């Protein structure tokens, strides 16, 4: 299934030429540096965020591996390594570093990772239009949670503060359950279900942020 392919097929890899030695570049092997001349390359459009870190396109990724490969790429593309290079090389290394940062932080968080995976399949989540994907019962649950948050006064040591903390823990459990549902949805290539769960996670994230702010106030 597509979502479990670790690398795109060779026939589907667009190619470019190295700006320095003009050798043909491979999307995977030359995604940062040309193998022939070892000069840094601009980001190749044929790569997605998973390919940057040589990870399979699955929702349940190895976060430790992601972090380790991110740190390794940060080291390889660090500005200190390009202080004596040409302006073009400096510019390309900065472009690559920015792209790697975007890729890392997108894949690091479950919600942004799921949204990105949907975008790779042509399913874009519309901003501010989450209600169309969730049930009326779910919306009522969110409405009641918001109303309860509004009604509570987070005085230190009070019953209200304790209730806010309980709600926070409950939300953590709900978001973990959403992650499990997303893993199943993507594994089954059920994009409709994945979109529904993403919409629910957006609501939960919003509630979680409200709770954190309320507890800190």
Q: Is residue 114 included in any domain, yes or no?
A: no
Is 95 in the same domain as 169?
no
My answer on whether 41 and 93 are in the same domain is yes
The total number of structural domains that make up the chain: 2
Judge if 101 and 138 occupy the same domain: no
Q: What is the CATH number of the domain that holds 191?
A: 1.20.1280.20
| Residue 173 tokens, joined | 């459990």
pLDDT at 46: 78
Query: With a cut of 70, which residues of the chain have pLDDT below it?
Result: 1-15, 126-132
Structure tokens, 216: 């800190």
What one-character DSSP code corresponds to residue 145? H
Do residues 21 and 36 make contact, with C-beta atoms less than 8 angstroms apart? Answer: yes
Q: What per-residue confidence (pLDDT) applies to 196?
A: 95
Query: What pLDDT score does 13 carry?
Result: 46
- For residue 126, what pLDDT is reported? 65
CB contact burial 95-111 (16+ within 10 A = b; e otherwise): ebbebbeebbebbeebb
User: What burial class does residue 185 get, using C-beta atoms within 10 Å of its C-beta: 0-12 exposed, 13-18 middle, 19+ buried?
Assistant: buried
Position 3 scores a pLDDT of: 36
What is the per-residue pLDDT across 1-49, written as a single tens digit (0 to 9) for each? 233 333 433 433 456 899 999 999 988 888 899 999 999 999 988 789 9
Instruction: Give the model's pLDDT for residue 131.
Output: 61
Structure tokens at 54: 């040589």
Taking CA atoms, 137 is separated from 173, 191, 200, in Å, by 19, 21, 12
The pLDDT value given to residue 84? 92
User: Is there a single domain that holds both residue 102 and residue 173?
Assistant: no
| Tokens, residue 62 | 């190895």
pLDDT of residue 102: 96
Element holding 25 (H helix, E strand): strand 24-25
The pLDDT value given to residue 75: 94
Segments forming the whole domain that contains residue 28: 2-108
Q: Which two tokens stand for residue 198?
A: 């993403």
13/67 same-domain check: yes
Predicted model pTM: 0.84
Same domain as 20, residue 99: yes
Report pLDDT for 128: 55
Query: Which runs of consecutive H residues, i.e. helices, occur in the chain?
Result: 49-52, 63-76, 87-108, 110-120, 136-151, 159-187, 191-216
Are 103 and 181 contained in the same domain? no
């Amino acid at each position: 299934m597509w979502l479990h392919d670790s690398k795109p097929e060779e026939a589907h890899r667009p190619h470019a030429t190295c700006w320095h030695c003009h050798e043909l570049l491979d999307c995977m092997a030359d995604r940062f540096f040309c193998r022939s001349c070892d000069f840094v390359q601009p980001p190749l459009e044929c790569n997605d965020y998973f390919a940057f870190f040589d990870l399979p396109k699955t929702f349940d990724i190895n976060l430790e591996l992601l972090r380790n490969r991110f740190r390794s790429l940060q080291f390889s593309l660090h500005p200190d390594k390009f202080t004596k290079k040409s302006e073009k090389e400096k510019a390309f290394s900065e472009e690559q570093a920015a792209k790697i940062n975007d890729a890392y932080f997108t894949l690091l968080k479950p919600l942004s990772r799921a949204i990105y995976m949907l975008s790779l399949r042509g399913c874009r989540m519309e901003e501010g239009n989450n209600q169309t994907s969730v049930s009326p019962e779910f919306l009522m649950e969110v409405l009641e949670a918001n109303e309860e948050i509004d009604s509570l006064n987070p005085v230190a040591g009070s019953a209200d503060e304790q209730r806010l903390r309980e709600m926070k823990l409950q939300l953590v459990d709900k978001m973990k359950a959403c992650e499990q549902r997303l893993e199943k949805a993507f594994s089954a290539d059920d994009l409709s279900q994945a979109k529904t769960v993403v919409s629910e996670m957006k609501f939960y994230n919003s509630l979680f942020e409200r709770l954190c702010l309320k507890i800190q106030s």
